[in-house]
Structure 1
Amino acid sequence: MGTRLKKGISVNGQSREIIYNVYKYFSREAETFKYLFKELPNLKNLRLKLIEAINFKGSTVTLRKILRKMGFWYCKTRDNRKTLMEKHDVRLKRTKYLDKIKISRNEGSDIVYMDESYIHTNAGIKKPISKGQRLIIAHAGSENGFVPGALLVYKSTDTTGDYHKEMNSENYEKWVKNQLIPNLPTNSVLVVDNAPYHNKYTEKLPNSNTREQDMIDWLTTHNIPVDPNEAPLQYKHEHIQYSIDKILAEHGHSVLRLPPYHPDFNPIENIWAQLKQYVAQRNVDMTLTSVKNLLQEKVNMIGPEDWKKYMYQCECCLETFNIPNSVFGDSVVLNLLNGTESVPTA
């Protein structure tokens, strides 16, 4: 699904490429640009890079909105200029992911990537009158190929257009228990995105509206010191446990969550593209049965070599960020005042 922006501006099919190229621009060129031209890259130059890389069609206003949706925010520099900076929590989550996946590789763990997607029964028609019926797909794979027996395909019943609503935590956990876990290699690390059903808590967490005594009881249960001089919930994140993490841990596996806005860290995104292209080129009957059969047919054709190729591409993308932290620190900002448009307030 594309990222829907304010006033109807939609990134849609370009969203992944835009995100990837924005980050690639920061990591590979920001410091060089800064030293060569004695200024930070600005929004205008960033847009030119996107036009060159992916034939970006949006204006600087559109690009600014995309960046804000990606987790960038406006702040002031020491000389009182307004700049756009990546949010610290997004950068921190990416750094943690890079560290954890490196550790998992060094330990020899099998890293398994999973995701959900969809396909319509009229796939392949250039100008369909309607999108037709839709199938929801869930699967997982690694450098060894698809996880055997893990493919899940079922008919969509949702009419909102958001396929994520088709999968809830109950259905997802059922799939994990019955189809995924029995077929995972020992000591696997399952990489997932941040869909809500991947992040169901094992217990209800306290918040700012929780009664004081209930909050104290929760803190005491989790052996968190109650200090009247500190915000009691600041350590809450250290005690969060997700339902699927617990389920997988009971079977000797662990879960690693992708950082927000980094779909190119997941090789299964390219696998989905292969599957959909295959179906679109051969979809004659345009029925649920024929599309499902074509999906299964292509899944059987995609083997370890395909997965290794796309995992290598992800490794290259990861290497983009394995550079000194200074590149992604506070110094990497977009100087919007060097552009042609005024900067809105945060």
Structure 2
Amino acid sequence: MNNLSHLTPVYIDETGFETYFYREYGRSLKGQLIKGKVSGRRYQRISLVAGLINGELIAPMTYKDTMTSDFFEAWFQKFLLPTLETPSVIIMDNAKFHRMSKLKDLCEEQGHRVLPLPPYSPEYNPIEKIWAHIKKHFRKVLPNCDTFLEALSSCSCFS
């Protein structure tokens, strides 16, 4: 692979949310197990996909369900690529729905390159820290928000 240092790095990833969050911590007498009930009700799954350039989220989009190849490719082609103003190297994991050959073709047509991360290496993708921040924020604000999108827009990542 040619030297990619002249290209702007763009990290992309997706994450998912259940619209139900649980308490991570509780108190009990020493040696006693904490038990609590969780509703048997199914909660809505929402996926969030975005890119990250210089610490800024770009082209964020939510999707009501788990991520699919078709949705990811549509987001990639219609939302991510048009926001890239300079030749970029797009860095992403090897998730099953990332049809790498098609994504590489789309990128190369516009002067970009794709760099897949090694398997099981989220530590190489800084957007993972953004997802952790958003999920921590959600645990605090979601119970007081009327909608998922209201909670999402209250996060400093989207200000």
TM range (shorter): 0.7 to 0.9
Q: 2:19 aligns with which of 121, 137, 144?
A: 121
Runs of 4+ in 1 over 3 A off after TM superposition: 124-128
2:71, 2:44 → 1: CA distance? 20
Following the alignment from structure 1 to structure 2, what is the Cα–Cα distance between the partners of residues 189 and 286? Answer: 37
Rg comparison, structure with higher value: 1
Q: 1:191 maps to which residue?
A: 91
**Offset, 1:275:** 0.3
Alpha-carbon contact 2:17-2:45 (below 8 Å) kept: yes
Distance 2:75 2:115 in 1: 18
Return the alpha-carbon distance in structure 2 between the equivalents of residues 186 and 120 of structure 1.
Answer: 35
Q: Which residue of 1 aligns with 2:151?
A: 294
**RMSD of aligned residue pairs (Cα, Å):** 2.1
Which of 71, 75, 81 is the equivalent residue of 1:171? 71
Q: Is the 8 A contact 1:113 1:191 kept in 2?
A: yes
Shift of 1:185: 2.9
The 1:248–1:177 alpha-carbon spacing in structure 2 relative to 1, beyond 3 Å, is same
Q: Return the alpha-carbon distance in structure 2 between the equivalents of residues 273 and 144 of structure 1.
A: 14
What is the alpha-carbon distance in structure 2 between the residues aligned to residue 189 and residue 279 of structure 1?
Answer: 31
Residue number among 62, 69, 94 corresponding to 1:153 in the alignment: 62
Aligned equivalents of 1:124, 1:291: Cα separation in 2: 15
Counterparts of 2:87 and 2:111, CA distance in 1: 6
Q: Which of the two has greater strand per residue? A: 2
How far 1:136 moved relative to its partner?
Answer: 0.8
Alpha-carbon contact 1:110-1:187 (below 8 Å) kept: yes
CA contact (8 A) 2:12 2:91 kept: yes
Structure with the higher fraction of residues in helix conformation: 1
Distance in 1 separating the partners of 2:122 and 2:55:
21
TM-score by length of 1: 0.39
For residues 212-253 of structure 1, the C-alpha deviation after alignment (integer angstroms, 9 at most, x for no partner) is xxxxxxxxxxxxxxxxxxxxxxxxxxxxxx001000111111
TM-score after normalising by structure 2: 0.81
Q: Structure 1, unaligned stretches of length 5 or more?
A: 1-95, 157-165, 201-241, 302-346
Counterpart for residue 110 of structure 1 = 8
